[in-house]
Structure 1
């Protein structure tokens, strides 16, 4: 399989196994959800009626006062406990390595089929300059949510993209399925493509 290199008459030969795989929506959905869930803190905590600070003494006599109630720590009272109180938990879902790599291949292949994968020889900025980065991206026509993938993203590139709300920068080691799926266009260097092939082969 051949990928066109932007701004060059040359093409980049890539593996059909990595960039020509059939898309599996169910697999990609499962892996993306698992990836996002792994980033959740899971620290939400609420108190049950037994944990609320307050007396458990019966609030009023049983008869003659209308509705019958016990302690004011009951969930029906303001300041009382929560009926099904949230407790700290882990949202982690198990995804084995074979599934993760298959999903990454499926996403990259679909991006290539939809012409949302722009291969360039190199991509960097000489100094930290958001203006320079904007100029480079405008020349590539990458939409409003581009993802820049390089073999080893420089600090200048990271800092230049920091003030751009929808522009993301990743190196090959930091590439993840959620950022690939959420990008309008993926701008990737030829060297990064080769490293991804070695990783996913």
Structure 2
């Protein structure tokens, strides 16, 4: 398979196994959910009735006072414990390395089929100025949420994109399925593509 290089008559030869793979919604969904869950803190904590700081003495006499009840730490009272209290836990899901790489290849293949991958020889900015990056991106039809992938993102490029709310800059090592799925289009350099191929091969 060959991908056209923007602004050049040359074409870049890429692997069909990575950029021409059949789409699998179940695989992509599983890997994206697992990736997002791995980033959850899982630190939510609530107190049960036994952990609430309060007396467990009977709140009123047994008869003549309305409802018969014991401790005010019970869940039915304001300030009492929680019936099924949340406790700190891990949301991490196991995803095999082979499965993760396959999902990345499936996402890249679908982006390629939809014409949402733009390949360039190189991409960088001279100085850390947002206006410079904006003017450079106007030469491409990337949509509202572009993802820029370079072999090693320069500091100038990263700082230039920092104030643009929907523009993301990643190097190959920082590429993940959530970033790819959330992008309207992907602008990638030839060097980055070769490195991605080596990674997913």
TM range (shorter): over 0.9
Query: How many residue pairs align between the two structures?
Result: 201
User: 2:45 matched to which residue of 1?
Assistant: 45
Work out the CA distance in 2 between the residues paired with 1:131 and 1:68.
Answer: 71
TM-score normalised to the size of structure 2? 0.98
Deviations along 1:141-198, whole A, 9 cap, x unmatched? 1111111100000011111111111111110011000000000001100110000001
Q: Specify the SS of the correspondent of 1:106.
A: helix
User: 2:120 matched to which residue of 1?
Assistant: 120
39-48 or 61-70: bigger deviation: 61-70
Deviation at 1:86, TM superposition (A): 0.6
Work out the CA distance in 1 between the residues paired with 2:167 and 2:49.
Answer: 46
User: 2:161 matched to which residue of 1?
Assistant: 161
Q: Specify the SS of the correspondent of 1:65.
A: coil
Q: CA RMSD for the aligned pairs?
A: 0.7
Deviation at 1:67, TM superposition (A): 1.3
Work out the CA distance in 2 between the residues paired with 1:31 and 1:130.
Answer: 33
Deviation at 1:62, TM superposition (A): 1.5
TM-score normalised to the size of structure 1? 0.98
Deviation at 1:11, TM superposition (A): 1.0
User: 1:11 matched to which residue of 2?
Assistant: 11
Deviation at 1:69, TM superposition (A): 1.3
User: 1:184 matched to which residue of 2?
Assistant: 184
Tell me which stretches of 4 or more aligned residues in structure 1 moved more than 4 Å.
Answer: none
Work out the CA distance in 2 between the residues paired with 1:100 and 1:47.
Answer: 37
Deviation at 1:71, TM superposition (A): 0.6
Deviation at 1:24, TM superposition (A): 0.4
Q: Which residues of structure 1 form unaligned runs of 5+?
A: none
Q: Specify the SS of the correspondent of 1:140.
A: coil
Work out the CA distance in 2 between the residues paired with 1:76 and 1:136.
Answer: 61
Q: Which residues of structure 2 form unaligned runs of 5+?
A: none
User: 1:148 matched to which residue of 2?
Assistant: 148
